[in-house]
Structure 1
Amino acid sequence: MASVQGTAVDITTEDGVADAYLAHPDDGLPHPGVLFYQDAFGLRPHLRSMADRLAGAGYTVLVPNVFYRHGRTPVFDLPEFIDPSARPEIFQQIGPVMQTLTPELAMRDADAYLRWLADSPLVADGPVALTGYCMGARLALFTAGTYPDRVAVAAGFHGARLATDAPDSPHLVVEKVTAEVYFAHADEDPSMPPEQQQLLEETLTAAGVRHRCEVYPGAHHGFTQADTATYHQEGDERHWAALLDLLERTF
């Protein structure tokens, strides 16, 4: 693993300034770019450590605070260990903020994040990778379909409501996706039930998108997040193996 440098950066968007975390190998050289989309709990020490791990494998990783319209990080006052069943007010705070990040706003921001990566001397030329967690999996799919020429590969883990009957369901952008995609579903996740998994799979297949969708047994929504009550070590290790394999094959 390469030694890693992590810094705070600011990204100018059409609607303001998004604070972000940037992690990259400490060699001053350009590396393949990864846009890392947060879960609902936001940019916090655990996500920075995940970005550091990816950077150690040879990538330049950008983790934007997608809730920047509501303030700089930390947007929410979170405990070190997040257990929403013990602290239900956490979601009472987060829910309304999530609702305000419409696909339209999120994709306007995605353009700024992708341009920032393209302009950075620490990022190799060419399309980048996306990885996203929970709500970030939705953002990854939307981004791959909205900016296909700028995305080489996209991964999403324990994504929620990826294929619904809503007019802005993420799966509706699949026909524009040119990247290879990978989705890992938790088998105990009511926000991504079997019928949605099947619709996503069928939509990706019909569109001719190179893809793999897998169900992780015994895992709950949020299984990659070690600072939460839904962490599942086996699922997390499998996620790292799948993600790093995808990136190595792509870059």
Structure 2
Amino acid sequence: MKIIAATAAMALSGAAFAGEAVDYSADDREFEGYVAKAENPKGSVVIIHDWDGLTDYEKKRADMLAEQGYNAFAVDLYGKGVRPDSVEGNRAETEKLYNDRETMRALMNAGLAAAAEQGVTTPVVAGYCFGGAAALEMAREQPQEVIGYATFHGGLDTPEGQDYSAAKAPIRIYHGGADTGPDMATFAGFIDQLETAGTPYKAEIYAGAPHAFTVFGSDRYREEADQRSWSDFLAFLGETMPGV
């Protein structure tokens, strides 16, 4: 998939580090990402959205990362203006990509290229929910420029015919103990796969935390689990990019 162009337009935000909307093209489709840049960047993060598509949630996370000194780019895997507003719509968009892994990987690589054009290079890739599953899809392919992965309450299933034999960059997994999708049996099987492949990883499980425990303002939000996972993620960034 070829990147054709990327342009930036200011996005309204009340955050201390307000980012910019970024239009980019892949093949014949238009996408809208979001970039937030630190004043004195010490590294880069690419964020993959949950099944709602790229919304204010991922933009807030990108702004939070910029405030911590990291350039951040939130990719768009659905297409500009494609922002479902129902469970049925969310499921339809994710199933398109789950059922076409080649396109999923191509769109993620297009997002990496768009991020690089904005100066977000050699990143750690982090994903939420559906975005966590997408980050692991990328980890199994292992693009050379990506130096680490993190998944927050993400999907953990591995498609038939895939494994983690190529996944050499470290992975962080933040999982709720009360998450039922994926449940703890799926989690255990996933960890077995990483062990078999020799992939470096660290996993944290938060007691009582349900799926989507990091989503501000929702009935699933768990402040302690969110803060602990975010703190560990920032530490992971510091470990992965120590001399930047």
- Report the AA paired with residue 92 of structure 1: E
Partner residue in 2 for 1:154 = 149
- Label 1:173 to 1:55 Cα distance change in 2 as closer, same or farther (>3 A): farther
Do 1:148 and 1:177's aligned partners in 2 also have CA atoms closer than 8 Å? Answer: no
SS class of match (2:37): strand
Please report how far the alpha carbon of residue 191 of structure 1 lies from its aligned counterpart in structure 2 after TM superposition: 1.1
1:74-97 deviation digits (Å, cap 9, x = unpaired): x134xxxxxxxxxxxx21221112
**Partner-residue secondary structure (3-state), 2:164:** helix
In 2: Cα distance, 1:103 partner to 1:222 partner: 23
Equivalent in the alignment of 1:72:
81
* Contact kept in structure 2, 1:55 and 1:61, CA below 8 Å: yes
Alignment partner, residue 184 of structure 1: 174
Give the Cα separation in 2 of the matches to 1:173 and 1:24.
34
Q: Secondary structure at the match of 1:63?
A: strand
Contact 2:142-2:169 at 8 Å conserved across structures: no
Count of aligned positions: 225
1:85 alignment partner in structure 2: none
* Structure 2 runs not aligned, ≥5 long: 1-15
In the aligned structure 1, how far is the partner of 2:56 from the partner of 2:70? 19
2:63 matched residue in structure 1? 52
Amino acid at match of 1:221: H
Q: Give the TM-score, by structure 1 length.
A: 0.83
- What is the distance in 2 between the residues matched to 1:134 and 1:94? 12
2:23 is the counterpart of 1:10: yes
> Aligned to 1:111, which of 109, 112, 135?
109
Distance in 2, matches of 1:173 and 1:10, equals 33
SS at match of 1:188: coil
Using the TM superposition, give the Cα deviation of residue 118 of structure 1 relative to its aligned residue in structure 2, in angstroms: 2.8
Identity of aligned residues (%): 27
Q: Quote the residue 1:167 is aligned against.
A: 160
Misfit runs of 4+, over 3 Å: none
**CA distance 1:153–1:241, change in 2 (3 Å):** same
Structure 1: runs of 5+ lacking an equivalent? 78-89
- Taking structure 2 as the reference length, the TM-score comes to 0.85
